[in-house]
């Protein structure tokens, strides 16, 4: 089976490449705009291009059976048709749940007639790095909506599920909502980072406007959008799913494990 990984230096795509190599996938092609800078590992065939620019995909799908599709909503429909016409039979897409900017990718790709498996991750655990600068410089976190809760998922778990579903076509037709194992508030997340650091890191509730100002350092214009999402979680906390465990046959990574593994980001 020949697999193409698009967005192959991305946060998810790069880990998908590693997982496929670890699983001894027979053939892996990785797509990047700059093969030299990408420095992809031995055992990967590197192709030049970007899914966001379909005109750069000439020949990229030749000989490929299955594609990991990085999320670029504007071109998903066009890319799927190009892939289908080049002989690809199946896509594993990274999208998002209903209401997110990525969700339309699912219908766009299915319109091509390709077999599909859709992965809908929620917030990434790595998003906790939005607190890193505050923790480093002030030892605490100023934020809003302290009771809002969701179940962030580890990038490594998303990539492991992607690799497993790329290699096993029995997942065709399935959509997996990927979350971590527990629904957590920001005070709890900050507490876990503090535990990993070996000191108390308080979460201090401040008015929404002040939280947005503080967040702008890490998220720029997306700070307001992010806080809108937190506000919605106050009355509708995200319920964790079991999809990671079901697909991988092992428990999903906990935030405590993630914090221990990534504690240096907060020192
Ligand atoms: N909760 C969430 O945060 C959430 C949930 C669902 C989905 N998502 C989305 O999932 C994606 C996952 O992140 P990811 O880091 O793996 O990124 P990605 O969007 O899957 O892929 C990023 C890669 O695409 C390539 N690329 C080439 N030209 C680009 C351009 N003009 N703009 C952007 N990328 C370009 C780059 O690799 P080369 O330079 O090597 O070509 C880059 O490393 C993000 O798009 C994110 O918005 C997020």
Domain interval for residue 146? 125-152+181-266
Q: Which atom of ligand 1 is nearest to the CA of 37?
A: 40
110-122: pLDDT as tens digits = 999 999 999 999 9
Does one domain contain both 116 and 54? Answer: yes
pLDDT of residue 49: 97
Report if residue 176 sits inside a domain: no
Does one domain contain both 113 and 6? Answer: yes
| Ligand 1 neighbour 11 (Cβ under 6 A) | yes
What global pTM score does this model have?
Answer: 0.96
Report if residue 167 sits inside a domain: no
* E-assigned strand segments in the chain: 2-5, 27-32, 45-48, 66-69, 90-94, 115-121, 141-143, 149-150, 175-178, 184-185, 203-205
In the chain, the number of structural domains is 2
Does one domain contain both 101 and 33? Answer: yes
**Are residues 168 and 114 in contact, defined by beta-carbon separation less than 8 angstroms?**
no
pLDDT of residue 240: 98
pLDDT of residue 159: 98
Does one domain contain both 115 and 198? Answer: no
Which residues of the chain fall short of a pLDDT of 50? none
Does one domain contain both 147 and 259? Answer: yes
Does one domain contain both 193 and 251? Answer: yes
Domain boundary among 101, 121, 141: 121
Instruction: Kindly report the protein residue whose alpha carbon is nearest to atom 43 of ligand 1.
Output: 10
Could you give the CA distance from residue 145 to residue 233 in angstroms, rounded to a whole number?
9
pLDDT of residue 36: 94
User: How remote is the C-alpha of 139 from its chain's centroid?
Assistant: 28
Instruction: Give 190-226 as a DSSP string.
Output: HHHHHHHHTS---EEE--HHHHHHHHHHHHTTHHHHH
Among 147, 149, 151, 171, smallest CA distance to 160 is for 171
**Are residues 202 and 141 in contact, defined by beta-carbon separation less than 8 angstroms?**
yes
CA of 70 to the centre of ligand 1 (A): 6
Does one domain contain both 10 and 86? Answer: yes
Domain containing residue 245: CATH number? 3.40.50.720
In which element (H, E) is residue 164 found?
Answer: helix 155-167
Does one domain contain both 12 and 140? Answer: no
Does one domain contain both 83 and 202? Answer: no
């Amino acid at each position: 089976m020949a697999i193409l990984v698009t967005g192959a230096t991305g946060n998810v795509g790069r880990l998908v490449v590693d997982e496929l190599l670890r699983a001894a996938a027979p053939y892996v092609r990785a797509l990047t705009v700059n093969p030299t800078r990408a420095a992809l590992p031995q055992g990967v065939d590197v192709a030049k291009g970007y899914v966001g620019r379909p005109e750069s995909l000439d020949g990229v799908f030749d000989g490929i059976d299955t594609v990991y599709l990085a999320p670029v909503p504007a071109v998903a429909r066009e890319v799927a048709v190009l892939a289908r016409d080049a002989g690809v039979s199946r896509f594993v897409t990274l999208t998002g749940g209903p209401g997110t900017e990525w969700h339309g990718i699912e219908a766009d790709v299915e319109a091509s007639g390709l077999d599909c498996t859709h992965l809908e991750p929620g917030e990434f655990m790595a998003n906790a790095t939005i607190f890193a600068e505050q923790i480093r410089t002030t030892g605490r976190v100023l934020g809003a909506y302290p009771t809002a809760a969701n179940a962030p998922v580890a990038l490594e778990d998303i990539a492991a599920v992607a690799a497993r579903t790329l290699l096993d076509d029995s997942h065709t037709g399935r959509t997996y909502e990927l979350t971590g194992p527990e629904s957590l508030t920001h005070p709890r997340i900050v507490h876990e980072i503090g535990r990993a650091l070996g000191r108390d890191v308080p979460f201090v509730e401040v008015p929404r406007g002040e939280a947005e100002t503080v967040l702008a350092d890490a998220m720029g214009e997306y700070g307001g959008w992010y806080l809108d999402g937190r506000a919605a979680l106050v009355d509708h906390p995200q319920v964790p799913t079991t999809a990671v465990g079901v697909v991988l046959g092992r428990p999903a990574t906990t935030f405590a494990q993630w914090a221990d593994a990534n504690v240096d980001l907060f020192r």
